């Protein structure tokens, strides 16, 4: 029998997501070899094109009709939206006294920004499935959160982050509309004709998505290195940021799991809300950070990258815990999922 190599056995034991490893390698590359002069212009243009491609594909693949039809299960979706766009931002604002003793103002800005990002779809679905939760509801909740976040995240950022994003005036919002919303709407309009093609080539497009994000990350962190915005990011500050984010994630997981029990949701729905309501989208947040923060996007996106890794590790442990619990008797599991959501799981 062929035995795996020592390197493969070691890396398989590491709790680091391979994509996070690729992101960290990209950050290291941008730190050592940042783009300058014409290279910086080329990196900026490539980043702009990558963001447009990301949101075009995002809009073309997002099942808008299913997400909107899923509003009939309105209590679950409203709970997820309130967790994502109300409870998370409130906790982020509550962390303001940590500046400057624990977090630098720049790191706090990134922490607050991650609290405004929509929920992720892929990992929420995967962990809900592992935990034997309401997968159809997780699909609809994640899709609806992403749909709302395209508009709501930039608006919340303009209001709560103010000067960090250039203010709440028409300039930044127009930039968001042109660089994020227009490609997204174009993808939605063309979804009827290209949706099947994208579905058939999902794996290839997945590589395109992740490759585009790596381009965005290189451009953002490269601009940060050239602009000298990394001087205050010491190892001690990074450790403090990790502790704060771990506390934030633990708080959200506790509130979503216990709060949904008190609200009367059944076990399957509680699992879906716990995972969808406590996660943040890296693929959606990174392009938004690039548009909103410009040369400071790398530093603003750093908390989101770290939080993404934390939520993957915590989600895996929690999903396995739920999955080991005995299933409920037939007829007692959540059956309040509408037909449209069921179709989206096929």
- pLDDT tens digits for range 306-341: 898 899 888 888 988 888 876 655 444 444 444 444
More confident residue, 138 or 201: 138
Token readout for 96 is: 């303001």
Question: pLDDT at position 89, please?
Answer: 97
The proportion of the chain whose per-residue pLDDT surpasses 90, expressed as a percent, equals 25
Inter-residue contact 345 to 156 (CB < 8 Å): no
Question: pLDDT at position 247, please?
Answer: 97
Question: pLDDT at position 67, please?
Answer: 59
> pLDDT tens digits for 124-175?
888 888 888 888 788 888 888 888 888 899 889 888 987 655 544 455 556 6
3-state SS, 97-137, equals: HHCCCCCCHHHHHHHHHHHHCCCCCHHHHHHHHHCCCCHHH
More confident residue, 344 or 254: 254
| Own/partner pairs, 96-103, CB within 8 angstroms, 24+ separation | 98/244, 102/240, 102/244, 103/237, 103/240, 103/241, 103/244
More confident residue, 275 or 178: 275
Q: Spell out the domain ranges in the chain.
A: 18-325
Residue 106 has pLDDT above 60, yes or no: yes
More confident residue, 96 or 221: 96
Token readout for 160 is: 């709560």
Q: How far is CA 66 from CA 70, 197, 236, 284, in A?
A: 6, 19, 45, 20
Contacts of 237 (CB under 8 A, 6+ apart): 103, 104, 107
Mean predicted lDDT score pLDDT of the chain? 80
Question: pLDDT at position 278, please?
Answer: 94
Question: pLDDT at position 333, please?
Answer: 43
More confident residue, 247 or 178: 247
pTM: 0.77
Question: pLDDT at position 81, please?
Answer: 95
Residue 114 has pLDDT above 90, yes or no: yes
> pLDDT tens digits for 269-288?
999 999 999 999 888 888 88
Question: pLDDT at position 206, please?
Answer: 74
Contacts of 82 (CB under 8 A, 6+ apart): none
More confident residue, 300 or 70: 300
Question: pLDDT at position 175, please?
Answer: 63
CATH architecture of 18-325: Up-down Bundle (1.20)
Residue 225 — pLDDT band, cuts 50, 70, 90? confident
Cα dihedral sign for 309, 278, 336, 343? negative
Question: pLDDT at position 125, please?
Answer: 82
Rounded mean pLDDT of 236-264?
94
Question: pLDDT at position 164, please?
Answer: 58
């Amino acid at each position: 029998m062929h035995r795996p190599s020592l390197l493969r056995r070691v890396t398989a034991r590491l709790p680091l997501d391979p994509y996070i490893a690729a992101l960290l390698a990209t950050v290291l590359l941008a730190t050592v070899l940042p783009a300058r002069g014409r290279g910086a212009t080329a990196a900026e243009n490539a980043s702009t094109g990558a963001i447009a491609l990301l949101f075009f594909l995002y809009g073309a693949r997002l099942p808008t009709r299913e997400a909107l039809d899923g509003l009939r299960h309105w209590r679950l979706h409203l709970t997820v939206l309130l967790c994502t766009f109300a409870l998370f931002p409130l906790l982020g604002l509550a962390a303001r006294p940590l500046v400057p003793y624990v977090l630098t103002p720049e790191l706090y800005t990134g922490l607050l920004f991650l609290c405004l990002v929509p929920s992720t779809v892929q990992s929420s679905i995967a962990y809900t499935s592992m935990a034997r939760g309401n997968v159809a509801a997780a699909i609809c909740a994640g899709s609806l959160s992403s749909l709302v976040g395209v508009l709501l995240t930039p608006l919340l950022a303009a209001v709560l982050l103010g000067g960090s994003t250039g203010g709440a005036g028409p300039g930044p919002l127009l930039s968001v509309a042109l660089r994020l919303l227009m490609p997204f709407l174009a993808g939605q309009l063309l979804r009827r004709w290209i949706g099947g093609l994208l579905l058939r080539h999902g794996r290839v497009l997945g590589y395109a998505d992740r490759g585009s994000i790596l381009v965005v990350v290189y451009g953002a962190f490269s601009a940060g290195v050239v602009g000298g915005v990394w001087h205050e990011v010491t190892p001690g500050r990074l450790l403090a940021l990790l502790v704060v984010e771990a506390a934030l994630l633990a708080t959200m997981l506790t509130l979503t799991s216990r709060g949904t029990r008190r609200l009367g949701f059944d076990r399957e729905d509680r699992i879906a809300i716990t995972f969808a309501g406590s996660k943040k989208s890296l693929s959606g947040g990174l392009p938004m950070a690039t548009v909103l923060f410009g040369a400071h996007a790398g530093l603003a996106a750093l908390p989101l990258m770290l939080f993404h890794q934390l939520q993957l590790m915590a989600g895996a442990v929690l999903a396995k815990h739920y999955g080991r619990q005995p299933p409920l008797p037939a007829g007692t599991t959540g059956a309040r999922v509408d037909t449209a959501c069921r179709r989206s799981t096929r």
